[in-house]
Amino acid sequence: MKTFKNIFILVLIVSAGFSTANAQTTKKDKKAAKEAAIKSSVDARNYTFNANYVLPQRGGGRVLTSLYDLRVTKDSVIAFLPYFGRAYFDVPYPAGDGGIKFTSTKFEYKVEEKKKGGWEITINPQDAKNTRRLILSVSPDGYASLSVSSTNRDMIMFDGTLESNVKK
C-alpha cells in the first residue's frame, strides 16, 4: 500500500512538472508571435502608434484619456496628437486646434534595429506644416515612445503602444 502511495505521488509530481513546462512554452510562444507581428508591421510600414501618456518639455506629464494616434502606411503618415507646450510664433486669433495634426504623403522613412532588440524609426515629413521629425522607439513587445520635433514649438514626447493596421 505504501508503494502504491509513493507511485501515485510521483505521478502527480511528474504531471505537474509537464504542465508547468507546457505553460512556460506557451507563454514564450505567445511572446515570440507578438514580436514577429510587431516586426512584420514595422517592416511593412503598416502600424498605428496609440499614445496614452504625454510628456511636454515644460511642465509635468499627463495621462491621455482620449484617443490620439500616429498611423503609418506605405504611402502616408497621419498624425492626430495633442500638444502641450510653448509655441515660438504669433498665433492668429482664433488659435485653432493647436495639436499635431497632419497627413503627409511625402516623407523620409528610416528604420534601425537596436542592439538589444526593438527598432528606432525616424520619419521626416516634408509636406507637414510645422513638424520636422518624428522618432519612434519601439520595443519588441510593442511598447513605444514617440518624440516630435517642430519648427516653431518645443519638443514633445508620447508613450504608448504599437499595433498592426492589419485586422485578424
pLDDT at 150: 87
Its pTM stands at 0.78
Q: How far apart are CA 30 and CA 7, in angstroms?
A: 35
Q: How far apart are CA 137 and CA 41, in angstroms?
A: 14
Average pLDDT of the residues in 75-91: 82
Model confidence band, residue 2 (pLDDT cutoffs 50, 70, 90): low
Q: For the segment 20-59, what is each residue's pLDDT rounded down to a tens digit?
A: 445 556 888 888 888 888 888 999 999 999 999 999 888 8
The pLDDT > 90 percentage for the chain reads: 45
pLDDT at 92: 54
Average pLDDT of the residues in 114-126: 92
pLDDT at 156: 93
Looking at residue 100, the DSSP 8-state letter turns out to be: E
**Looking at per-residue confidence, does 31 or 109 come out higher?**
109
pLDDT at 21: 47
Instruction: Work out whether the CA dihedral 86, 92, 95, 100 comes out positive or negative.
Output: negative
